Structures are given as structure tokens and as C-alpha cells.
Amino acid sequence: MKKRVTFLVMMLALCFVAAAAFGATGGELTPEEAAALMHQKAIITLVILAVAAVLFITEIIPLAVTSMCIPVALVLTGVISQKTAFNGLANTNVVLFAGMFVVGAALFETGVAKIIGDTVVKISGGSELMLSLGVMLVTAVLSSVLSNTGTVAVLLPVCIGIADSAGWNRGKILMPLAMMASLGGMITLVGTPPNITVNTVLEAYGERTFGFLEFAWVGIPMTVLGILYLCTIGRKLLPNENRQIDDSTVHTDSHKVYSKPKQIISAAVLLVVVIVMAFDLVPLHVAAVAGAMVCVITGTLTEKQAYHAIDWTTIFLFAGTLSLADALDTTGAGAMIANAVISIVGDSTSPYVLLTVLFLLSAILTQFMSNTASCALLAPIGLQIAYGLGASPHAILMTIGIAASSAFATPIATPPNTLVLGPGGLKFMDYVKIGLPLLVLAYIVCIIVIPMIWPFFPAA
């Protein structure tokens, strides 16, 4: 309670300071006064950005609440108009998110995902390594189009059951499961929130957006390398000893009876939606919502289940931060940050150096805060940096997005990591040992692949 009160005081103080700054303005402004006013708005935007970053990292209040406070603060301080403050809620990518949450939930509720997991167990042939490989392949495929958290939640009890019955170390199966959920999400536009976040920023600035499968240029090589690493060196880094296990996060109903027709419908809906998106037959958000509606109309999901399937934290976090991206652009605050970064690294510095700096910044932030939040904070800044260098923004934003999805090195970096912590008998340092080499691999793939597919200076 005290922490929340502290936050409220901080925001009120910010508003009072801004009100004082704007109170003297009125009537028609001279060009000099208009420039000074815009500079004031830029400074206030940077203050709000800093406060939001601290709150995102510390999670003093819920992430979604912090995000929705951003447009409120921007309106109260006069940075943006009340008419545009909540435009993020009507953004097509927010609609896309909501639709895919429902389509994905249908696979989990009807038991299709569980059938896939059980099948992997059966064909593993009693080999711990083969089971781990099979689980990673299935996880990569499912998480590329479905919720990463949902994928892990469904496969978790299946993996635990087979590991316990065979006397295997849970951690050696569950850690790869969690890591692959993040890797698989890098493959498609809807695989993970950072991918849609960078697309939204590109769209907001009138730039070409990434295609549905365009992320696969980085996602597939990264996933393949991740599998090879986790089957070899990474596997040896995991502890062999049995540790105290916490099963409090494992919930499953082995007696639940599933409907075969509903399973067929849910699988068919996902397949059609993915095909439509891949070939760009209709707008992505239209395809996602159409799929969600079919799931509800056919009874594959109830209306209540559809509502519960939507991760509202992600929706509100995403929508709220869009107003900040708008403020960074219109006030020139984003350009100020970009110029500061460019002045530090030098405007004649190799783009590879800039790529490295932004990758490290995004990757470090995502280990301790929401990957959506870290990407939403950095993507507009990265775009402004690209403009400052006269470079294409696609390479920079792809780097920021992939780094934000590289949530490997801590158990709090992403929900899948947290889910396997207790049941796997894992410790904080296990994630560090396994995750840091994966981060290095992600960086190498980015440095090699991204400039080849999205040149820094296409016209050159």
C-alpha cells in the first residue's frame, strides 16, 4: 500500500510541475515561444518515460496499471490531447493480440496441445535426450503461433509425469521447455509481443511493417542453434543432482474428457488463420478475430472462456505505451535521446556498434522486466536513432525485438521461466549458466543475419 501511495505522489508531483510549466502559456505564441513550449513537453515526456521505466522494472504497481497511467499523465501535463491519448486501445495490433489469445486458448481447452505433448512422449522411445528434443521441437512450433505461457503450462505436467516415472532429472527436460518457448516465439509476427510491438512502431511512423513470416529469417536459425546448444553444451550445464521440488505451480486434470469434434475445429481454425496470415490474404487482425469468432460460434470455446483467454495485462500494457511512443515522436523527446546516443557512440561509428549497444540494452532490460515493456520503451527510441543516422529502421528495430524476446538468463524474465522454476528444482544461477550462452548465440545471429536481410543503408 505504501509503495502505491508513493507512486501516486510521484505522478501528482509530476502533474503539478507540468501544470506550472504550462500555466503561463496562452494566446498566440511566437515561433520562439512555440519552440520553448515544445521543448518543455519533450522534457516532461522524458520524465514520464523515466518514471515508467522504473515502475516497469520494479513492478511497484501492476504493469498494466503503470502502462495505462502513461496516457493519463501525458494528458494531464498537456503533452498529448485527450482525443488521441487512448488510441492504442483501437490499434489493429491490439485487436490481433486479443484474437490470437482466443484462437490459442481453443487448442488448450480442447486438449489438442495435450495430445501433441502425449504423442511426443510416446515416440521418444524411453530416451531422456530424445524426449527433451521432441519437447523442444513441439514447443518451438506451438509457441510460434500460440501463447508461450500457455504452451509451457500444457506441456509442463506431461513432461513432469514422464520424467518422474522414468526417474529422470526434471530440470533437464523443463529448462529446455522454457527456453524453447521464447525461441519459438521469435519465428512469426504473432509468436511473441515484442514482434508486434516493433511492427506497431513502424506502422505509427509510416514505415513498411514486417511480414508475418519475416521474423523467421532470425527466428529459425536462432531456434535451430538453441536446440543444438540445449542438446549438447547446455545439457551438461544443468545440475544432475536431485533437488527439492515445488509442485505448487503444476495444475492438471488427467480425467478431463475432451470432445473430438471440438478438437478438429480448433486445430482447423488455427491452421486456416496461420495460412491466411502467412499469405496476407486479409489483414492480420481480421483473420485473428474471424478465427476467434468461429471458435466461439461453434462452441469450441464458451464466451466466458474466450474472455478469460485474453491476457489483459499484455493488451493494456501494449496499448498504454503507444501513447508514449506518440509523445516521444511529436515532442522531439525521442530525437533528443537518439541524438544523445549518437553523440556517445559517434555518428560515424559502424552501425554494428550501434546494433550491439541496442541489443545489449534491450537484452539486459528484458531479464528483469516484461519483454513487451522493454521493447515498447526502446523501439521508438531505436527508430529515432535510425533516422538520426539516415539509416533504415528495420535492422535496428528487428534487433531490439529479438533481444527483448531473448529472456533466458533469469527465472523472472518471462512467465515460462517462472513456471518451471519450482517443478524443475531449479535455482537462479541455473538460468544464468544456461541463459547467458543463449544470449551470446542470439547476438551472433543478429549481427550476422540482420544486416544481410535488412541493410542499414538500402540505397547505398
pLDDT digits (tens, 9 = 90+) for 125-177: 667 788 888 889 989 998 898 778 777 876 776 777 777 766 778 888 889 99
Residue 136: burial class (beta carbons within 10 Å; 0-12, 13-18, 19+): buried
Distances (CA, A) of 312 to 15, 65, 129, 161, 412: 27, 11, 37, 31, 19
- Residue 135 Cα distances to 162, 175, 237, 383, 455, angstroms: 12, 11, 19, 37, 35
300 and 108 Cβ atoms separated by less than 8 Å: no
pLDDT at 249 over 70: no
Residue 404 or 116, more confident = 404
pTM: 0.70
Nearest of 222, 228, 238 to residue 406 by alpha carbon: 222
DSSP single-letter state for residue 59:
-
Could you give the CA distance from residue 146 to residue 139 in angstroms, rounded to a whole number? 10
Buried b (16+ CB within 10 A) or exposed e, 275-312: ebbeeeeeebbbbbbbbbebbbeeebbeeebbeebbbe
Element (H, E) at 330: helix 312-330
87-128 pLDDT tens trace: 878 777 778 778 888 887 888 888 887 787 777 777 776 677
- What percent of the chain stands above pLDDT 70? 86
pLDDT the model gives residue 340 = 78
CA-closest candidate to residue 409, choices 362, 360, 372, 363: 363
30-46 pLDDT, tens digit each: 777 778 888 888 889 88
More confident position, 86 or 399? 399
- Tracing cell 488463420 back to the chain, one arrives at 273
* pLDDT tens profile 12-31: 565 555 555 554 445 577 77
AA letter at 24: A
pLDDT band per the 50, 70, 90 thresholds, residue 357: confident
All 3 cell numbers of residue 2?
505504501
Contact 25, 33 (CB under 8 A): yes
Cβ atoms of 296 and 102 within 8 Å: the answer is yes
**What is the predicted pLDDT for the residue at 24?**
46
CA distance 396 to 454: 9
Q: Which of 445, 410, 425, 437 is nearest to 172 (CA)?
A: 425
